[in-house]
Amino acid sequence: MSIVSNNIKYLRRLNGLTQEQFARRIGIKRSLLGAYEEARANPNLENLKTIAQVFGTSVDSLIKTDIRKIRETPGISLAQSTNGIMPQTAPQSRLQPEQTQVETRTFNNTPEPQSVAKIVEEFFQEKEVVQITPQRPISPRNYLADNEASFQQFVDNHLHTVSNLAKNETEYTPKSTAKVISYVKNNAVKEYLANCQKADYLRALPTISLPFIVTEKNRAFDMGSDFPMQNSIVVGTGISDWSDIHDGRFYVILTNQQGVIYRRVYNQVKIKGTLLLSSDNTNIPSCEVAIKDVVEIWEVNSFISQQLPEPHISLERVKSLVDELTIELDRLR
């Protein structure tokens, strides 16, 4: 509920009007008035002016001040009139002439009823404004307890401070996007093959953090001579369906017979129920492995090595150099 909806409902009920009666008085439909009071719609400026005039208050008071909080303020007394809701005045004296003077003095000792706008203005003028000092941090909760109406002023005055705090936090708080993944060392391969289906064992594996890994479905493995660079760590993404194995890509394959190996794979599962494993190392022959013997397979996406790759010799470039030398020799003859 908003302040203006609460004020409209409160002042209407305070003056004993039904929604139908009040809607007719300000010239709108009862359903629209209900929407105003339930904060499902906001009155436009013209309707706000009409409502304020009927209740003898101001538009500012309707939209900025919770009038319910000053209902016990001395001097406020609202009553209905033909032109709207006006401050109630004292009844005319029906005393005899000789009693009028005494009764008038007694009545004059009672404060004159005032309009809602004036009561609201005096109510907030009498409040002691809390002084904000930059040396002492002020909790918004405590500040609001002292002066609820000054919350917006508090926010405006300290918005730059909050922005600076957020900026400083952004500058000095490192935001890490690295993923922590499990790491299988060379000396733990047999143990891993025996327990890789156990969740407790996997949670106890060593881990490494890599900033370029974006998902947690990865695992790192120590590589031996299979990998072009010795003593490297290869990272792969887990494959759970053999149909996701693509021909010619590199995979880390785990079998009980061969342990952890790194190969270029060709998918023959649909035809023969096997995977053809090929190595770029000419000393390692190609072979086939039955898909039922594969414990796990991981598609390689990155690696970590302390060695730089050997320069690749282009056969096309060698052929071009030979042709150029042949032409040059023919000229010399």
Facing residues of 87 across strands?
78
Helix (H, G, I), strand (E, B) or coil at 278: strand
Taking the C-alpha atoms of residue 288 and residue 278, their distance in angstroms, rounded to an integer, is 9
What pTM, to 2 d.p., does this model score? Answer: 0.42
What is the tens place of the pLDDT at every residue in 100-135?
444 444 434 444 545 555 655 565 554 455 555 555
Q: Which of 4, 119, 105 is nearest to 56 (CA)?
A: 119
Walking along the chain (333 residues) 10 residues at a time, the average pLDDT comes out as 85 89 90 89 88 87 81 46 41 41 42 55 53 52 53 59 54 60 89 90 88 78 82 89 91 92 92 90 88 93 79 76 86 80
Facing residues of 290 across strands?
274
Show me where the domains of the chain are located. 3-124, 127-172, 179-304
Q: DSSP for 83-148?
A: TEEEEPPPPPP-S-HHHHHHHHHHHHTSPPPB-HHHHHHHHHHSSPPPPP-TTS---HHHHHHH-G
First to last CA, the chain: 102
CB-side neighbour CA atoms (13 Å) of 215: 9
**Strand 294-304's sheet: what is its strand order?**
207-210, 179-184, 218-222, 233-238, 294-304, 249-255, 259-268, 274-278, 287-290
Token pair 């479905």 in the structure block, residue:
217
What is the tens place of the pLDDT at every residue in 62-74?
888 888 777 544 4
Query: What pLDDT is recorded for position 85?
Result: 43
Residue pair 288/277 in contact (Cβ under 8 Å)? The answer is yes
Taking the C-alpha atoms of residue 186 and residue 233, their distance in angstroms, rounded to an integer, is 10
Helix (H, G, I), strand (E, B) or coil at 263: strand
Taking the C-alpha atoms of residue 76 and residue 106, their distance in angstroms, rounded to an integer, is 19
Query: What pLDDT is recorded for position 66?
Result: 83
Query: What pLDDT is recorded for position 290?
Result: 93
Residue pair 41/35 in contact (Cβ under 8 Å)? The answer is yes
Query: What pLDDT is recorded for position 95?
Result: 39
Max Cα-Cα span within the chain: 152
**259-268 and 179-184 strand pairing:** unpaired
Class level of CATH domain 179-304: mainly beta
Residues shown for the chain: 333
For 3-124, CATH number?
1.10.260.40
Taking the C-alpha atoms of residue 28 and residue 18, their distance in angstroms, rounded to an integer, is 13
Query: What pLDDT is recorded for position 139?
Result: 53
What is the tens place of the pLDDT at every residue in 182-192?
899 988 999 99
Query: What pLDDT is recorded for position 141?
Result: 52
Query: What pLDDT is recorded for position 2?
Result: 81
Annotate 158-189 with b (16+ C-beta within 10 A) or e (fewer): beeeeeeeeeeeeeeeeeeeebebbbbeeeeb
